[in-house]
Amino acid sequence: MAFMKMTSPHTTRAGDTGDVMKQVILACVPGLITLSYFFGPGTLINVVMASITAIACEAAVLKLRNRPVGFFLKDYSAVVTGVLLGLALPPYCPWWIVVVGTASAIILAKHLYGGMGYNPFNPAMVGYVILLISFPVEMTQWAIPRTMLEDGQGPLGPWIALQHIFTGAGSIDAFTGATPLDVFKHNNSQLVEHLYNSEPIFATGRWAGAGWEWVNLAFLLGGVYLLYRKIFTWHTPVSMLATIFILSLAFYDGGSSHSGGSPYFHLLSGATMLGAFFIATDPVSSAVSTKGRLFYGAGIGILVYVIRVWGNYPDAVAFAVLLMNFAAPFIDYYTLPRTYGHDKARRATEKKD
Amino acid sequence: MTDFVVILISTILVNNFVLVQFLGLCPFMGVSNKLETAIGMGGATTFVLTLASICSYLVHNFILAPLGLEYLKTIAFILVIAVVVQFAKMFIEKTSPLLYRVLGVFLPLITTNCAVLGVALQNTAKAHTFTESALYGFGAALGFSFVLILFSAMRERLAVADVPVPFKGAAIGMITAGLMSLAFMGFSGLV
């Protein structure tokens, strides 16, 4: 009988970065399909443009820094940044929005910090926030879902969409409107029931605004798939969603839009699910320890709710994630797990007595 | 009571002195290399800022205003701040010699922390009452310490990152502070 001579690790499953990133891209597909179904081909065009820009910027910076270009491109992390930013951007925004956002995400937020594995902020969200603050007009024009289109009017065709994105030709005002979170932001002294009946975005939807509820459920599906594949642990998304749920339950008085909307509404609108499963779980910029992830997720949940309900911006996932990215090293510092063999947690760099 | 909460939220988050008003950047960049030092500096600045805004309120309302010398307020406040800092220095030297050694030159440098003078001047410009002035100074100092401490924890991590050579050290610190200030814009409109 011959024994095979093998040293550890004995795991057979490939687990490199590229593999993880490919799973994340795969898990984005349901959300992308739902977005394209409800809002037309704009998001798909965004994702393609952002991915190409991301790869180009990544290759250019790696070339400048004399790093192996092929090796780093194959880990797909730049593509993931591009895909996530493309999903978050409003459909049919001008092409330069996508390019500027992706370039600042890859160059400013990722490679100035040393590239893959060193970025303290989530690159896609840095790109998004820079765009939101610099170009508020272009960034707040969301397409309307197909349920709101008049009879006989189809969603924007890909050809017209491309023409509009690249040349600005043709008006698409008929295809843009307020998102459910916008509606709540601008009508803070009405009955929720009244809003649900009078605003077409709610009237043609089911629970939390036409289109948006399905988009969020699709991202939830993708997120559950990633959890099943053990790409990340449950702590961050569950604690973030639970915090949003508890806060919206605590402040919702059941009737007036002043009190911020029902838990369903907050969980199924805007970027809640995309943020919880795809943005907040970024392994580089989030907290590392188990306990730290719970605090980190809860912090994002609190900030999302506070800014949505009392702040100026209708959605807050990008801001909340950046703010908690800022706090993540501090959270890690105070939630060090105990090392086996020690009585209490201590830092590796700590001086010995 | 609500007013006080509003002042605190406003100074800590919405109008954060460092990341929104860009005051006190010198200690923010200078003392943020280590977390422990940053916590000490935060404590010292909180002590000085609260005391300085109280003292400058008293000086402004009971000495300068009755004598009609309001145009001297900048120079008077600088004097008050210098005295308070000297007092804080002696206080820390006696109570915590270790912190005194760690803070070193940065302790007297609180004198030139423009956030301290900024708070005093804003207090008179906004015609705050005594309690409001004290709370405004306290909130400003809390906001300063809050971002300073978080920033120092992050800089400890940045110190080991593979940052491109031209961006090492203060440059990447400035970029991080800029990105943070972008994120703090999310708080606008809270109060």
The predicted-structure confidence for B10-51, as pLDDT tens digits, reads as follows: 899 999 999 998 988 888 888 888 888 888 888 888 888 898
Residue A346 lies inside a defined structural domain of this protein: no
pLDDT for A13: 65
Kindly state the average pLDDT of the residues A161-179: 77
Task: Name the residue of chain B whose CA is nearest to A118's CA.
Answer: B161
Asked if A326 and B183 come within 8 Å (Cβ–Cβ), the reply is: yes
What separation, in Å, do the N-terminal and C-terminal C-alpha atoms of chain A show? 53
Residues A302, A318 within the same domain: yes
- Pick among B179, B180, B190 to test the A interface (most A CBs inside 10 A): B179
Q: Do A286 and A165 belong to one domain?
A: no
DSSP alpha helix (H) spans, B96-186 = 97-103, 106-109, 114-125, 130-158, 170-184
* B167 interfacial to chain A (CB closer than 8 Å): yes
Least Cα separation, residue B172 to chain A (angstroms): 7
Of A126, A316, A330, the CB nearest to B150: A330
Query: Residues A235, A321: one domain?
Result: yes
**Same domain, residue pair A189 and A140:** no
pLDDT average, residue stretch A97-108: 94
List, for chain B, all residue ranges whose pLDDT scores fall below the cut of 50: none
A333/B contact by beta carbon, under 8 A: yes
What residues form DSSP beta bridges with B141? none
> Of A142, A157, A176, at which residue does a domain stop?
A176
**pLDDT tens digit sequence for A261-292:** 788 888 888 889 999 999 999 888 999 888 99
A29 and A170 inside one domain: yes
pLDDT at A347 exceeding the cut of 70? no
> Using CB atoms, which residue from A114, A311, A332 is nearest to B189?
A311
Three-state secondary structure call for residue A268:
coil
Does B172 contact A at CB distance below 8 Å?
A: yes
Considering the domain architecture, whether residues A137 and A215 belong to the same structural domain is answered as no
Identify whether residues A232 and A116 lie together within a single domain: no
Give the integer Cα–Cα distance in Å for A261 and A225.
Answer: 29
**CA separation for the pair A88, A318 (Å, rounded):** 9
Q: A115, B162: Cβ pair inside 8 Å? A: yes
**Is the preceding peptide bond at A9 cis, omega within 30 degrees of 0?**
yes
Classify residue A353: in a domain, yes or no: no
Q: Are residues A213 and A121 in the same domain?
A: no
Query: Within a domain: residue A188?
Result: yes
Q: Tell me the range of A135-139, A203-207, A323-327 where mean pLDDT is highest.
A: A323-327
Q: Does A203 fall in a domain? A: yes
Q: What is the pLDDT of residue B57?
A: 93
CB-based contact B124:B60 (threshold 8 Å) = yes
Please indicate if any CB of chain A lies within 8 Å of the CB of B189: yes
pLDDT for the residue numbered A151 = 63
Best of A322, A324, A347 to mutate (most B CBs within 10 Å, chain B): A322
- A208 lies in the same domain as A330: yes
Residues 295-314 of A with CB under 8 A from B: 303, 306-307, 310-313
A307·B180 Cβ contact <8 A:
no
Q: For an interface test with B, which of A324, A330, A333 has the most B Cβ atoms less than 10 Å from its Cβ? A: A330
Residue A10 lies in a domain: no
Name, in order, each residue with C-beta under 8 angstroms of A124's C-beta and a sequence gap of 6 or more. Answer: A81, A84, A85, A88, A105, A279
* Joined tokens for residue A105: 């995400």
Backbone dihedral angles phi then psi of residue A256, each to the nearest 5 degrees: -90, 150
Q: Residue A163 pLDDT more than 70?
A: yes
Residue A92 and residue A111 in one domain: yes
When pLDDT is averaged across residues A179-208 and rounded to a whole number, the result is 76
Query: What is the domain count for chain A?
Result: 2
- A310 neighbourhood in chain B, CB within 8 Å: 189-190
Partner B, chain A 91-120, Cβ-Cβ below 8 Å: 108-109, 111-115, 118, 120
Q: Are residues A208 and A99 in the same domain?
A: no
Residue A348 lies in a domain: no
Sign of CA dihedral A174, A178, A179, A183: negative
Domain end position, chosen among A142, A176, A210: A176
Range of the domain at A331: 178-335
Cβ of A143: how many Cβ atoms within 10 Å? 25
Cβ contact B35–A316 (<8 Å): no
Nearest CA in chain B to A66: B164
Complex ipTM, two decimals? 0.89
For residues A145 and A294, membership in a common domain is answered with: no
Whether A341 is covered by a domain: the verdict is: no
| pLDDT above 60 for A351 | no
B172 contacts on A by Cβ (under 8 Å): 112-113
**CA-based nearest distance A219→chain B, Å:** 24
Residue A80, pLDDT score: 93
Binding-face residues of A in 48-67 toward B, CB within 8 A = 65
Residues B121 and A206: their CA atoms lie apart, in Å, by 54
B28 CB neighbours in chain A (<8 A) are: none
Set of chain B residues whose Cβ sits within 8 Å of the Cβ of A318: 186
Band the pLDDT of A187: cuts 50, 70, 90.
Answer: confident
Structure tokens at A32: 């992308």
**Contact (CB, 8 A) for A296 and A328:** yes
Tell me, yes or no, whether A39 lies in a domain.
yes
